[in-house]
Amino acid sequence: MTRLRTVEEQLDRVLTDLRVPDPLELALLDAQGLLCAEDVYARAPLPSFDNSSMDGYAVRAADTAGATESAPVVLPVVGDIPAGSRAPRGVSRGICLRIMTGAPMPSGADSVVPVEWTDGGVARVRIHRPAEAGAYVRRVGEDIETGDLAVSAGTPVGPAQVGLLAAVGRERVLVRPRPRVVVMSTGSELVDVGRRPGTGEIIDANSYALAAAARDAGAEVYRSGIVPDERAILLDALEGQLLRADLIITSGGVSAGAFDVVKEALTELGTVEFTRVAMQPGMPQGFGVLGTEQTPIFCLPGNPVSALVSFEVFVRPAIRLMLGKRRLFRRTVTATTLQSITSPPGRRQYRRGLLHRDDEGRYSAEPVGGAGSHLLASLARANCLIVIDEEVTEVSEGDEVAVIPLLLSGA
Ligand code: AMP
Ligand code: MG
């Protein structure tokens, strides 16, 4: 029997074969969460005109000199400048205008006296503190000047970037798009949820689980129907999906059984390779490309835990790479095991676990449920994968282990 491929070797293969989809121009809110793929320069300055940062009175600072609580300066108020005011009249010596936050500074005025320093007068105002020249005025371009770089290529577009792009007049922006991922379950025993399974049938859990995982990883997801273990139907279904897919994920039919049709049919095509990877769960793995566009395809094993762990190990980094992300892998933490765990020799075990963090920030972890790759409920109770290296066959209570916390991106 050939040597098992290591997780790293398989990952290397997968990641070097992937193509990053071309940048796409999207409306601002659709760009949220994606990486900007262009340098966006400000077409206008921000602020776009001098304006008041306070509700108060636009004055010439010199006119307020010497004002105190007991000896206020009194100025006539010759008008109001609300926000949105187009052509405010100017301020000349010895008068002032009432001004609101964000309203344009009138010509002649060099500062704003906040309303809190005054009696709030409408026709005449008593000013109790002198203004400093320039005080409470937001200067044109002090945030960003015309021609300055507003958002650079490679920056994640979050709320502040969306806001800035809007503020500088951009309705659309070039981003690294979400890869369109098609998820397909294979297996003649599968029925879709909502239908009552007959004898020997089971409800398809994988297409839902993998679709959710792909979406969580940042993909745009399409769940295609269930495909039975029949070569012609499988090939037909895959061909149909190639039109809309940047990436295809199948589950089931990749082991050594008599009806493992995914492996049989795709091996014949010659562009998809089926290997055995030194891991548990998830030993049988298929990866390759399909069709004229060389669309990448992952053929994951059918057991739900195998499928999801394989997704975590191979597909999630692939989707992140397609999104242009720099960090492909989750951060692992070191934890003390609360229970001893055994692991098969020569295979890296990903054991479902519960990760705890104490008040001092120390981590501990314990396995949840057994090692069986059909134990989906245990995975649903887990919040981490405990990673036990290939050469380790037993960890004792109190030993340190590497743990991958399974945090949801949207959580
Ligand atoms: P396979 O990889 O096709 O040999 O399937 C391995 C095991 O996973 C079998 O017990 C299948 O019934 C089960 N299985 C395969 N596909 C799914 C699925 N989509 N949802 C739930 N269980 C599945
Ligand atoms: Mg099967």
Instruction: Answer whether residue 411 shows pLDDT above 60.
Output: no
Token digits of residue 374: 């059909």
pTM of the model: 0.91
Does residue 205 have its Cβ closer than 6 Å to ligand 1? yes
Average of pLDDT values for 339-356? Answer: 97
Q: Residue 179, preceding bond cis, omega within 30 degrees?
A: no
How confident is the model over 228-271, as pLDDT tens digits? 999 999 999 999 999 999 999 999 999 988 889 999 999 999 99
Instruction: Answer whether residue 409 shows pLDDT above 80.
Output: no
How confident is the model over 111-155, as pLDDT tens digits? 999 999 999 999 999 999 999 999 999 999 999 999 999 999 999
Q: Which residues pair with 384 in a beta bridge?
A: 353, 405
Does residue 284 have its Cβ closer than 6 Å to ligand 1? no
How many CB atoms neighbour CB 396 within 10 A? 9
How confident is the model over 381-406, as pLDDT tens digits? 999 999 999 999 999 999 999 999 99
Alpha-helical regions (H) of 336-401: 376-381
What pLDDT score was predicted for residue 17? 81
Pocket test for ligand 1, best of 251, 260, 261 (most atoms within 8 A of CB): 251
Minimal-distance CA residue to ligand 1 atom 3: 252
pLDDT band for 1, please (50, 70, 90 cuts).
Answer: low
Instruction: Answer whether residue 317 shows pLDDT above 80.
Output: yes
Q: Which are the contacts of 324, defined by CB distance < 8 A and separation ≥ 6? A: 20, 35, 37, 154, 176
